């Protein structure tokens, strides 16, 4: 069972997010106060997590996962709107499950793809397929690794 732990700053607050890879996990927000610095707490927590064996996974070590849809010819405005909506959804889905991020997509020549960088291909594929069930995005033709 792989665990993730991450943190980011957003307008003066720090979010800490952790859990089992592929699951939504938990989060906590830290704010600066008169008596303590959220940045100092985060720095100490990062050092503690590294000592426990957590390490950053460089983007070049992520797998490239593509979600493909069949379209007519070069596609139309509705296809493009759908792709942009899916990109936003994948950023949410992958981000909040510790799996990765969406990096945009392409459209034309009979297909539309959304490109994602993920730390574990199979867990991400399963999470995405489950997330897309019973939605406007369920009609994908395949989810595959770019290098396959």
- Tens of pLDDT, residue by residue over 91-100, are 999 999 999 9
Model pLDDT for residues 88-128, shown as the tens digit of each residue: 999 999 999 999 999 999 999 999 999 999 999 999 999 99
DSSP string over the chain? --EEEEEEEETTEEEEEEEETTS--EEEEEE--SS--HHHHHHHHHHHHHHTT-----GGGSEEEEEEEE-STT--HHHHHHHHHHHHHHHHHHHTTTSEEEEEEEEETTEEEEEEEES-HHHHHHHHHHHHTTSTTTT-SEEEETT-
Q: Domain 59-145: which topology?
A: TATA-Binding Protein (3.30.310)
Q: Please, which pLDDT band fits residue 36 given cuts at 50, 70 and 90? A: confident
Q: For the chain, give the mean pLDDT.
A: 95
What pTM did the predictor assign? 0.91
Mean pLDDT, rounded, for 54-81: 97
pLDDT of residue 38: 85
Beta pairing partners, 66: 115, 144
């Amino acid at each position: 069972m792989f665990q993730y732990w991450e943190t980011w700053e957003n307008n003066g607050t720090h979010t800490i997010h952790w859990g089992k890879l592929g699951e939504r996990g938990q989060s906590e927000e830290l704010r600066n106060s008169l008596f303590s610095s959220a940045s100092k707490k985060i720095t100490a927590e990062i050092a503690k997590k590294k000592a426990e064996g957590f390490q950053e996974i460089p983007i070049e070590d992520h797998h490239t996962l593509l979600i493909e849809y069949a379209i007519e010819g070069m596609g139309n405005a509705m296809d493009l709107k759908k792709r942009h909506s899916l990109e936003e959804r994948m950023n949410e889905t992958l981000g909040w499950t510790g799996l990765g991020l969406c990096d945009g997509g392409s459209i034309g020549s009979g297909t539309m793809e959304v490109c994602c960088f993920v730390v574990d291909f199979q867990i991400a594929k399963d999470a995405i397929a489950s997330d897309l069930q019973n939605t406007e995005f369920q009609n994908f033709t395949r989810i595959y690794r770019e290098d396959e």
